[in-house]
Structures are given as structure tokens and as C-alpha cells.
């Protein structure tokens, strides 16, 4: 019977493989057929529709058709920030665009810097005397910050505005490690370097708590100021401070509470909202009998119809987004080898300047160093190097900014966190719980070390701490030379402390406040170029046309997805929490001896949008934790 079961499993696996192959061949044939003629990208007179169904990220993850076809769920849609920004800014001067419509019904979030910069772009549209209209089922802190820049804010009567500030829950695994018998060896340099504390403690140290609280307060103040400036009459801070009282005063109706506090202008369904837009910009000619259909062009279509100009000299822009790891990981993850290779490939492109666009909490010091060295090879050519920080450029994210002579950041950018740590687990205690004994035979103090099974020797402990401190000293020297500061001056702003962009400018870690476009324009000016004499050249691989095609079939741009209500937001938050838990456990239990320069607060606490795991991944993680708990 055992042999028969094995044969049956093999036959089932062959059958599944053949089915997957046939599906893939079908899509390839369909792609070849449809790609024989170019797709039409036409801008129609009407509204620019910015449908943010998913998350806004600096760099979307690569789409893997095979993985999606074999999985049980569709990945969350990721909107590239600069694409959304370019379309909104273009709408301000495009005579065919009569209004900008923000469809936020399925919006799952964006980082604070992205939200702020998109809000500034919407202000340019309104300054051009064009209305901006927004609709959502639920407004949260980030959604409200973006929508505040609209001339009309609509809310579904079944929804509400639950104003959330930055912050959240950090898991501490110190007691779990003790129960499992795992000895987590922690080495760190930097008094405030809090990223290591969850692996060895049960709560924050006083220094870490004070540092994180100051950071969150700073980011929250930026959001409040932004909303107050865009919508002075809204009682944003009041409803955020006491949402229960606001909703109770409205008879338990969260939508009416939002209207009473001036956060929204009108209550109405999607159909009511669409009918209002149709009156402003005209009806959709393809649906003449539908009173709620309005003439529009999706922002993706607008970008394709209006490609960026390529005149003049090239200002190179390289994106370093996501956690820094070794190898060729990414996009969406900053694989050190991959990004270094991209930067080196551009050495022959005769760039007038190079802009380093960073949205990373850091990661492996070795990966950050690979990228920094590649940037220095461009700097050796004598061209200006400028850094542009997005939601976070902390720890390793700041490390790769050190070659820049000028650093731009947004007021809510999380930066600094200049410090390093190393985590190495050993399981001698775990083995002891199961009756497994170890005995080590050594010819030297370092023989067989670091020993994951038998424990680390005192000599290894001391060497690892010295290695960590040495990397920290190197980090301090790099930043000190870049910023023109002495070591004593550096210690006042380093030690692992995190800073919002505005405060970072005051202490000299940042030179100017501004977004990506500001940094690119400044780099061109530093290269001696005037307007019209340059263009941005993004240093990135060509997109996989087949993968893009399959992605469009699975999740087309105009597809109507399920609206995001409170339940959907809770599920998304649960999935993100599980993703963070798995990453933490992997670092605690399976981390190798590698020095990390990573920030704790970004993205979990400051609300930077991160790719959401699929439902299948969450189920797999739950099963893994259940198996662990049953042992």
C-alpha cells in the first residue's frame, strides 16, 4: 500500500504539472496573438481617474506569473508612487483633463512621505482651477491626509472616518526564546538601537521608548499640520483624540460624525459620487445610458499616452527600496548585488548626475556597502550625487546616502538610526529540553565556532561584539565625513536615534526638504543644466512584457474590486502582522552571523505601506505556528 500511495502521489504531481504547463501555454499563445497589434492608449476629455486599489509603494515587487498561477490568491496590487505622482502633476496642465478623481474605496495605504507629496501634487491641480474629488468607504489617517487636498470629499453612508495616527504593536520574543531554550546572543552598538530589543527583551528599554515616542509624535504632527493646512475647518485633531465621543454625538453613525467634524463634504454611494463627477466632466460615451458613468482616463493610461520626454542630458535615478539583503533579490527588496550591478551598468550612460532614491529601513551592512561602493564609482567620474529620501531612509538606508553631497527628505521621512547590531541564536537549551546532550572537542578557542548547537564560546562573544563596534565606528566615520561633523558631534545625533525629516534637517543629517522631483531638478542644476536641457533616466531593468500581460489579465486596471471597509482593513492588518512575525522569527532562529543596520520603526510603526501577503501565505504561516505550538 505504501508503494501504491507513492505512485499515486507521483501521478497527481505529474497531472498538476501538466495542467499548469497547459495554462501557461494558453496565456503565452494569447499574449502572442494580442501583442501583434499595439494597444490603444488614448486620453479622453474628462477626468483623470486615480484608482488606488491596493498600496502605493516606491518600487513594486516583480510579478511572477508561475507563482500566481500556482497559488491560491491574487497578490495585492502595488501602485508605483512616481507613476501616480506624474499623472496627477500632468493633469494640472493637460487641457483634456477637467478634474481629478480619487477612487479610494479599495485603498490599503501609503507611506507618510508618499501621501504628503501626492497631496502637494493635488494642490497644483486645484491651483490650475480644476476640481479634485475623492470617495472612500473608510477614511483612515493616511487616506484622510491624501483626501484633505480634494475640493470635494465624499464618504459612503455605510462607512466612516476613523482617524489613525502612527503607531502600533511590536512583538517581543525574549520570553518565548527562553521557553524554547533558544539562547539569543545580541550584540549592538548605539545606545538607542532598538531594532535588536524584541529578540532579547519583553518590553522596550527606557531609551528606546523615549526615542520611538519622539519619532512617532513628530510624524503625527506632520500629518496633522498637513490636514490643517489643506482643510482648515476640519476638526481632524479633535476626532482623532476622542473618536468615541464624536461617533456617540452622531448617534453611533460614524459617517455622520465625519460630516459633522468637517472631514468630509458629502455622504453618498459610489453611484451618487459618479453621477456628480459626470455632471462636471461629462458622461462616458461608451455607456450613454448609464447616468453614473463619467468620461475618464485612468492614470496608468495617461502615463502610457504621455511618455516622459527624453530630450537633453540624462539625470540617472536609482531606486533602493525595501529591506537590504544580499544577492539579486528584488525589485521591492534591495538586493545588494542586483542594485550594484544596475548602477555599474549605467557607468557608460554618460549621466550628468545621479540621484539615489531611498525608501528602505536598512538591513545587511554588507549589502549596503555593495551599493555604496557602486555609487562611489559614479562619484569618481566627477558628477553630482544627490540623495532623495522617501518614507524611510534609516540605518542602512542612511548608510547608502553618505556618498551624496546633498540629501533631500520629506518632513515625515524616518531617517537616522545610525547604529548596528548582530543577532546569533544557539539552541543548546532547546536540545537539553529534549534530552539531547552535546560535547565539544576543540583544538583552538574558535574550533567549531560559532556553534549553533553547542553554544557560543566566550571568545566568539567578544569577537562578535568587537566586530559590531567596528562596523559602528566605520558607520560613524562615513557619516561624519559626509556631513562634516566630528565624532563627538556625530554621537549627539547617532547612537541609533531616529529622526523625522524636519528634525533631521535641524541636526544636519538632511540638507533640504523636498520630494523626488525636487531632488532631480537640483541635481540637474548642480550639473549646470537648465530647464529643457535634461531628463530623468530611471536605472532599472526592462519590465517583463509577458509578466505584465498576465498581470493585466488577472487584475486588469479597470477591474472593480471589493471595497475596503473596516473588516477588510482588519484582515489586511492581520496579514501584515503575520508577515512581520515570520520575519522576526526567521531573524531570531535562523539568522547567520551578519551585522545588521536596520530600523525598528519603519515600516511597522510609522505606517509605510508594505506589500501584503496572500491569503494562502497567511494560512501556511498559521499552520506553521500551530505545529510549533503543538510540540
pLDDT at 443: 86
Q: Cα–Cα distances in Å, from 39 out to 45, 293, 558, 570? A: 19, 23, 15, 38
pLDDT digits (tens, 9 = 90+) for 533-544: 999 999 987 765
Q: Cα–Cα distances in Å, from 615 out to 300, 367, 604, 618, 619? A: 27, 31, 20, 5, 6
d(CA 67, CA 331): 16
Coil/strand/helix, residue 91: helix
Q: Predicted confidence band at 615 (pLDDT cuts at 50, 70, 90)?
A: very low
Q: Predicted confidence band at 589 (pLDDT cuts at 50, 70, 90)?
A: low
Is the pLDDT confidence value at 618 over 60? no
d(CA 492, CA 476): 11
DSSP for 426-447 reads E-HHHHHHTT-------SSTTT
pLDDT at 619: 47
The strand pair at 353-360 and 313-321 is best described as parallel
How many CB atoms are closer than 10 A to CB 268? 17
Task: Identify whether the C-beta of residue 526 lies closer than 8 Å to the C-beta of residue 387.
Answer: no
Cell numbers at 194, concatenated: 532598538
Average pLDDT over residues 257-268: 96
Cis, bond preceding 417 (omega within 30 deg of 0): no
pLDDT digits (tens, 9 = 90+) for 155-196: 999 999 888 888 878 888 888 888 888 888 888 887 887 778
d(CA 351, CA 414): 29
Q: Predicted confidence band at 436 (pLDDT cuts at 50, 70, 90)?
A: confident
pLDDT at 440: 82
Cell match 569618481: residue?
380
State the number of CA atoms in the 13 A half-sphere of 127 facing the CB: 11
Is the pLDDT confidence value at 566 over 80? no
d(CA 351, CA 329): 25
Task: Identify whether the C-beta of residue 601 lies closer than 8 Å to the C-beta of residue 212.
Answer: yes
Task: Identify whether the C-beta of residue 501 lies closer than 8 Å to the C-beta of residue 409.
Answer: yes
Task: Identify whether the C-beta of residue 371 lies closer than 8 Å to the C-beta of residue 336.
Answer: yes
pLDDT digits (tens, 9 = 90+) for 104-149: 998 988 999 999 999 999 999 999 999 999 999 999 888 999 999 9
Domains and CATH numbers, the chain: 46-163+231-306+560-564 (3.90.226.10)
> Own/partner pairs for 273-280, CB < 8 Å, 24+ apart?
273/133, 273/135, 273/154, 276/133, 276/152, 276/154, 277/47, 277/99, 277/101, 277/133, 280/47, 280/98, 280/99, 280/131, 280/133
Amino acid at each position: 500500500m505504501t508503494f501504491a500511495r507513492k505512485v499515486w502521489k507521483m501521478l497527481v504531481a505529474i497531472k498538476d504539472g501538466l495542467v499548469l504547463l497547459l495554462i501557461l501555454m494558453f496565456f503565452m499563445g494569447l499574449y502572442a496573438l494580442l501583442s501583434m497589434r499595439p494597444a490603444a492608449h488614448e486620453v479622453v476629455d474628462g477626468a483623470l481617474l486615480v484608482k488606488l486599489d491596493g498600496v502605493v509603494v516606491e518600487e513594486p515587487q516583480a510579478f511572477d506569473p508561475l507563482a500566481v498561477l500556482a497559488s491560491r490568491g491574487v497578490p495585492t496590487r502595488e501602485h508605483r508612487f512616481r507613476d501616480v505622482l506624474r499623472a496627477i502633476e500632468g493633469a494640472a496642465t493637460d487641457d483634456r483633463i477637467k478634474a481629478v478623481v480619487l477612487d479610494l474605496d479599495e485603498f490599503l495605504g501609503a507611506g507618510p512621505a508618499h501621501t504628503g507629496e501626492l497631496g502637494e501634487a493635488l494642490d497644483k491641480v486645484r491651483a490650475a482651477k480644476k476640481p479634485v474629488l475623492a470617495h472612500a468607504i473608510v477614511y483612515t489617517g493616511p487616506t484622510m491626509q491624501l483626501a484633505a487636498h480634494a475640493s470635494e470629499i465624499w464618504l459612503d453612508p455605510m462607512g466612516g472616518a476613523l482617524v489613525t495616527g502612527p503607531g502600533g504593536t511590536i512583538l517581543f520574543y525574549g520570553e518565548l526564546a527562553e521557553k524554547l531554550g533558544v539562547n539569543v546572543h545580541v550584540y549592538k552598538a548605539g545606545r538607542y538601537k532598538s531594532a535588536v530589543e524584541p529578540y532579547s527583551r519583553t518590553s522596550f528599554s527606557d531609551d528606546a521608548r523615549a526615542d520611538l515616542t519622539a519619532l512617532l509624535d513628530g510624524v503625527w504632527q506632520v500629518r496633522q499640520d498637513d490636514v490643517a493646512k489643506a482643510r482648515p475647518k476640519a476638526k481632524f485633531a479633535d476626532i482623532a483624540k476622542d473618536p468615541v465621543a464624536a461617533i456617540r454625538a452622531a448617534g453611533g453613525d460614524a459617517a455622520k460624525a465625519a460630516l459633522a467634524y468637517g472631514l468630509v463634504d458629502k455622504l453618498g454611494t459610489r453611484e451618487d459620487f459618479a453621477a456628480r463627477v459626470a455632471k462636471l466632466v461629462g458622461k462616458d460615451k461608451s455607456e450613454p445610458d448609464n447616468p453614473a458613468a463619467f468620461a475618464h482616463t485612468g492614470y496608468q493610461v495617461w502615463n502610457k499616452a504621455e511618455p516622459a520626454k527624453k530630450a537633453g542630458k540624462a539625470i540617472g535615478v536609482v531606486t533602493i527600496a525595501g529591506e537590504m539583503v544580499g544577492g539579486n533579490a528584488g525589485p521591492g527588496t534591495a538586493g545588494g548585488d542586483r542594485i550594484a550591478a544596475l548602477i555599474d551598468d549605467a557607468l557608460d550612460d554618460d549621466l550628468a548626475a545621479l540621484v539615489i532614491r531611498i525608501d528602505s529601513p536598512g538591513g545587511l551592512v554588507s549589502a549596503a556597502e555593495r551599493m555604496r561602493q557602486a555609487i562611489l564609482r559614479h562619484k569618481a567620474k566627477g558628477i553630482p550625487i544627490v540623495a532623495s529620501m522617501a518614507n524611510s531612509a534609516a540605518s542602512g538606508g542612511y548608510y547608502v546616502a553618505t556618498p551624496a553631497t546633498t540629501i533631500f527628505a520629506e518632513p515625515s521621512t524616518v531617517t537616522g538610526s545610525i547604529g548596528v547590531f548582530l543577532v546569533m541564536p544557539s539552541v543548546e537549551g532547546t536540545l537539553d529540553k529534549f534530552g539531547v546532550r552535546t560535547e565539544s572537542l576543540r583544538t583552538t578557542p574558535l574550533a567549531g565556532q560559532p556553534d549553533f548547537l553547542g553554544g557560543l564560546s566566550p571568545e566568539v562573544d567578544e569577537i562578535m561584539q568587537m566586530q559590531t563596534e567596528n562596523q559602528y565606528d566605520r558607520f560613524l566615520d562615513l557619516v561624519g565625513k559626509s556631513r562634516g561633523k566630528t565624532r563627538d558631534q556625530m554621537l549627539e545625533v547617532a547612537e541609533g536615534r531616529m529622526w523625522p525629516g524636519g528634525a533631521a534637517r535641524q541636526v544636519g543629517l538632511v540638507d533640504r526638504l523636498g520630494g523626488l522631483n525636487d531632488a532631480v531638478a537640483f541635481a540637474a542644476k548642480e550639473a549646470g543644466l537648465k530647464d529643457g536641457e535634461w531628463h530623468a533616466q530611471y536605472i532599472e531593468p526592462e519590465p517583463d512584457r509577458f509578466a505584465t500581460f498576465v498581470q493585466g489579465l488577472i487584475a486588469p486596471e479597470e477591474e472593480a474590486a471589493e471595497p475596503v471597509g473596516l473588516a477588510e482593513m482588519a484582515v489586511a492588518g492581520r496579514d501584515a502582522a503575520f508577515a512581520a512575525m515570520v520575519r522576526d522569527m526567521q531573524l531570531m532562529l535562523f539568522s547567520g552571523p551578519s551585522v545588521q543596520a536596520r530600523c525598528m520603526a519603519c515600516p511597522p510603526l510609522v505606517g509605510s505601506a508594505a506589500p501584503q501577503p496572500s491569503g494562502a501565505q497567511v494560512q501556511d504561516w498559521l499552520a506553521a505556528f500551530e505545529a510549533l505550538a503543538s510540540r
